[in-house]
Structure 1
Amino acid sequence: MTLICAIAMQGAAQVPVSNPISIRVDLAEPQGPYKPIYGWFGYDESNYTTMKYGKQLLTELHDLSPGPVYIRAHHLLTSGNGVAELKWSSSNVYTLDANGKPVYDFTITDQTFDAFQKAGVRPMVELGFMPKDLAATVTGVNEYQVHFPKNTVSGASNNPPKDYAAWSELIRKYTEHLVQRYGKEQVRTWYFEVWNEPDIGYWHGTPEEYFKLYDYSVAGIRAALPNAIVGGPASTGPTSDRASAFLDDFLKHCLNDKSAANGGAIPLDFISFHPKGRPTVVDGHVQMGLANELKAVENGFRIVATYPKYIKLPIILSEADPEGCAACSMKMNPSNAYRNGPLYPTYTAAAIKALFDLQDRYKVNLISMLSWSFEFEGKDYFEGFRTLATNGVDKPVLNVFRMAGLMSGERVSTSSTGQVSLDDILSAGVKQTPDVDAIATKAEHEAAVMLWNYHDDDVPAVGVEVQVTITGIPPTVKRVLLEHYRIDGSHSNSYTAWKEMGSPQTPTEAQYAKLKAAGQLELLGSPEWLDVSGGKITISTELPRQATSLMHLKW
């Protein structure tokens, strides 16, 4: 009986309910600029940048957006042999010779940044972690690097420097080298971020010692490139009192104190922190924690908004994800099973709109929701890491970023009879009725509507019929071309294709080609020309649970 019920529910998931959801889009009612907050990505293992599938994926990330795509990576300054492991990489940029004199080696650094350049992406230069010869209190053979799944941040690579002036000189030399190799005008467009999550185990010093590190880092950067873009603190999402206080105290330090490095004012060009969700397993299924991520964002925006000097500074959510460990596969954490299928992109679509709404509410300047997801070389297909691709095969989540890249111009007004309000999501998540909602944009000669049917609980459920009414089309336009893209169980979904072919770990050449094709963003049907009447059109579609659509209009 249990099996029969399960099969019946799977079938029911494709049957729309009788009462359609009405979504209205008014192109004549702008809501603010649509900024490419989606065009930012990052990963722990900086050495994956130069590997086969890493280089391939960087090119794909460049191609998903008309504007710059930024890449942030850990371990740009860590000592080691340049071989990646889970949650570990190295550049060996700094050592001391037999006489205790610094030796700077940019060989691995150049390979990493050259790969960024070749792919056409821009680095977000995260200054971390501490070189072994500069780290305070390194003793014992195994105290610098700790191997995953042990607590990798417990090693001395996360120690403060034993000499802050030497650290500042390293940063000056590092920045100077980047400027010499890639040009002042290009490096001027990069973002330099000091460290990663210094409010938790990634930093083994006090908050005050991090503020000192920030001062000496910025002094080193600006000595080599006076107009470099600098910021931080890259702290965790401010949901706890500790994390909130850290972000607040950092802003107070930059506003009120003098630089420990030179006694001058403390530069701050952007503010960064890391909101995360919290999925769990409930009654045998994954339940997402969208509310947790959005609460962290709201608290961070609220803190920034209390500082008139900083309220308009760019805010970079330099890790913004459904949870906190990209390298923890679903084998390790069953709650991470959301990562392979259409739930992950639908969660991301709902988060994009909520982030813009929170930005508008607090009147701050959000420019990035950086997805801490890339790829892992040499792992099983669809092992359940938080990745954009697996063995060179794009996963469904990459396609929601491709959808976002097709949107441009101004955000415009949307309303939905199936919407779960932002305040309700913040207070209780999406655990009762699904969130059937949309975000829309208008640019010259085009418009786009992204819509989704999202629920925190990943269980079979009936789909919905949606009627999307778009008004405000220019009066001279009589016909528009509709391109309707879809991510769901059977579209833009390499995971479904992989399972249908028997989940091979050594796919044949023909199977691999099929998987590659299935990983691309797919049209739901052929493009079609629609007649416009009175500046209005209505489009009907069936939207399964955990599905995302993009209706792209051209005229």
Structure 2
Amino acid sequence: MIRVPAEPVGRVSDAWRQCVGTGRIELALRRDYQDSLALLQREIGFRYIRGHGLLSDGMGVHRPYDQGCFRFVHHSFTYVDQVVDAYLELGIRPFLELGFMPEDLASGDETVFWWRGNVTPPHSYPEWADLVRATLRHLVDRYGLDEVRTWPIEVWNEPNLPDFWQDADEAAYHRLYEVTARTVKEVDAELRVGGPAISPGADDWLERFAEFAEHRDVPVDFVSKHAYTSGPAQHVPFGVHQTLAPAHELLDQFATPRDLLKGTRLAGLPVHITEFNSSYRPDNAIHDTAFHAAYLAPVLAGGGDVADSFSYWTFSDMFEEAGVPTALFHGGFGLLTHRQVRKPTYHLYAFMARMGPELLARGEDHLVTRHPDGRVTVLAWAPVDPTGETPGPDRHPLRLSLPTGGGYEVFVRRSTVDEEHGNAYTAWRHMGSPRSPKPGQLDILHEAAEPARAHRRLPVRDGRTDLDLTLARHEITLVELTPVDDETPPWWDEGRLLGREPS
């Protein structure tokens, strides 16, 4: 029996909900995307959203034209306004990522993704600065300086990879960063700019980024990087399989910037993990499973200790980097499939959103919090074997002694997600894995995605309640305990429901 203390040991970090990722932001113009984001915000409520492609050709911002012998550039924000308006109306702000390069400003023709984002430096840095300046000034004019000052501005994406930045040229990235950061500060000194948004395995870039920033006296307001735990992709048609490292390695990656930057000019700056997940592939079926929710539970519970934010990549399967998805469940990054079918990892986030602000206890398989009104909330998860060598335990017991205050009883509400409950992926597999489910099948999948729910009362003795849980394989469960204020009238007798005389 684990005895949970009555006094809080701290506050629950909300770094897990500070930001969430998205497919290229142009997708925000689509109905299914906006429907998915609206659901996400109602049930979870993220604060910021980050995605690629703000300056790519699909957004139509950079519009050069010739007039006589002269070249001019027109900056158009038709789509930018629609996207940002949609975000703000849904209560989420943009975490601006400046990229990729507009074709007519690019120095080469190298691209990434099915939608061909250009990854080469600008052929004219003054023209790139004009683009950044015009974009930020427009946003300030439209949304107000006080609002835009709250939006972090990240320079590029994973420049340490040649797929994302031509030749992974570090010196060229530093030049791009310097021009961009100085332009941002020219628009307003209090706008927040940062980087270098590196992928895992490139931590040496952080130290050199700090040296560069100090040597050139370049503005840096936050440090960003990405975190994934999967191994090389084993390709199959329209999918991959990968090994996974233990989830604690994600926390190790989150902690890297603060550890490496001690003693540098960048020490103490906010650290934003602007992408994280298990697999870095948008076609890995692990993302759709109950295993994935249980795997990531300790990361959400503990990530706030080592990073100011860690942004799940991504909120929706509306995502086309590898092409248009070929099936409803296809291993996409999303917390939601197309048509808003909730995945088990979605429920992990929704459960976290129902936790209280006071931290009472945290262990290897549980998180206990309290709300201001006295409700106690327990998030528990079954351990997983990330090697795949074993399926993980069939049953995982957890016994807690919880401080529930005065009164005689508590009302207990338990919500469960595991291999069979709250798991539309399992239902879809039983259904025959239909690539494009019919309307009736979609209804079944939405139904199957609902967590199992159970209710009961438990006694309170000396201000405490004993909670015995047995978790199934790959289960995550949320238990909410509320003091009972019993208003049952004194004449009520359950034994008389069928009209029998009182005994």
- What range is the shorter-chain TM-score in? 0.7 to 0.9
- Residue matched to 2:410: 480
Within-5 A mapping of 1:323-472: 323-326=279-282, 329=283, 336-357=284-305, 359=306, 365-376=307-318, 379=325, 380-392=327-339, 393-415=341-363, 419=364, 437-445=365-373, 446-455=375-384, 456-458=386-388, 459-472=390-403
- 1:266-305: CA deviations, max 9, x gaps? 2x222110011115799x9975223543332333331134
Match of residue 40, structure 1, among 16, 19, 25? 19
- Aligned pair in 2 of structure 1 residues 304, 440: CA closer, same or farther (>3 Å)? farther
CA contact (8 A) 1:53 1:375 kept: no
- Aligned pair in 2 of structure 1 residues 227, 110: CA closer, same or farther (>3 Å)? same
Q: Which residue identity is paired with 1:69?
A: R
- Residue matched to 2:39: 60
Q: Distance in 1 between matches of 2:266 and 2:400?
A: 39
Q: Distance in 1 between matches of 2:408 and 2:184?
A: 55
- 1:216-249: CA deviations, max 9, x gaps? 2223223334322222111112x4xxx1221112
User: Is 1:215–2:167 an aligned residue pair?
Assistant: no
Q: Distance in 1 between matches of 2:124 and 2:407?
A: 66
Shift of 1:39: 4.4
Match of residue 206, structure 2, among 247, 262, 265? 247
CA contact (8 A) 1:465 1:540 kept: no
Match of residue 84, structure 2, among 113, 121, 132? 113
Q: Tell me the TM-score normalized by structure 2.
A: 0.84
CA contact (8 A) 1:39 1:401 kept: no
CA contact (8 A) 1:77 1:128 kept: yes
Q: Distance in 1 between matches of 2:156 and 2:408?
A: 54
Shift of 1:122: 1.2
Q: Which residue identity is paired with 2:99?
A: G
Match of residue 304, structure 1, among 261, 272, 276? 261
User: Is 1:232–2:195 an aligned residue pair?
Assistant: yes
Match of residue 532, structure 1, among 452, 456, 460? 460
- Aligned pair in 2 of structure 1 residues 32, 305: CA closer, same or farther (>3 Å)? farther
Q: Distance in 2 between matches of 1:250 and 1:487?
A: 43
- Residue matched to 1:430: none
Shift of 1:467: 3.2
- Residue matched to 1:320: 276
Q: Distance in 1 between matches of 2:400 and 2:112?
A: 56
Q: Distance in 2 between matches of 1:356 and 1:226?
A: 28
- Residue matched to 2:493: none
CA contact (8 A) 2:294 2:475 kept: yes
Q: Distance in 2 between matches of 1:252 and 1:534?
A: 59
Q: Distance in 2 between matches of 1:348 and 1:538?
A: 27
CA contact (8 A) 1:278 1:288 kept: yes
Q: Tell me the TM-score normalized by structure 1.
A: 0.76
CA contact (8 A) 1:286 1:457 kept: no
Higher relative contact order (CA 8 A, sep 6+): 1
- Aligned pair in 2 of structure 1 residues 480, 337: CA closer, same or farther (>3 Å)? same
Q: Which is higher, the Rg of structure 1 or of structure 2?
A: 2
Shift of 1:193: 0.9
What are the ranges of 5 or more consecutive residues in structure 2 without an aligned counterpart? 235-239, 484-503
- 1:89-115: CA deviations, max 9, x gaps? x21211321132111111222222222
Within-5 A mapping of 1:142-161: 143-145=109-111, 148=114, 157-161=118-122
Q: Distance in 1 between matches of 2:408 and 2:190?
A: 49
- Aligned pair in 2 of structure 1 residues 523, 535: CA closer, same or farther (>3 Å)? farther
Shift of 1:321: 1.0
CA contact (8 A) 1:93 1:106 kept: yes
Q: Which residue identity is paired with 2:221?
A: D
- Residue matched to 1:258: 217
Q: Distance in 2 between matches of 1:305 and 1:449?
A: 36
CA contact (8 A) 2:342 2:424 kept: yes
Q: Which residue identity is paired with 1:118?
A: E
- Aligned pair in 2 of structure 1 residues 273, 391: CA closer, same or farther (>3 Å)? same
User: Is 1:276–2:206 an aligned residue pair?
Assistant: no
Q: Which residue identity is paired with 2:380?
A: L
- Aligned pair in 2 of structure 1 residues 375, 285: CA closer, same or farther (>3 Å)? closer
SS of the residue aligned with 2:275?
coil
User: Is 1:509–2:461 an aligned residue pair?
Assistant: no
- Residue matched to 2:501: none
Shift of 1:496: 2.0
SS of the residue aligned with 2:94?
strand
Q: Distance in 1 between matches of 2:171 and 2:354?
A: 44
Q: Which residue identity is paired with 2:41?
A: H
Q: Distance in 1 between matches of 2:401 and 2:129?
A: 55
- Aligned pair in 2 of structure 1 residues 477, 457: CA closer, same or farther (>3 Å)? farther
Q: Which residue identity is paired with 2:56?
A: T
- 1:483-528: CA deviations, max 9, x gaps? 21211012211112223333333434333222223334x24313x3
- Residue matched to 2:494: none
- Aligned pair in 2 of structure 1 residues 313, 441: CA closer, same or farther (>3 Å)? farther
SS of the residue aligned with 2:276?
coil
Match of residue 91, structure 1, among 56, 59, 66? 59
Q: Which residue identity is paired with 1:302?
A: D
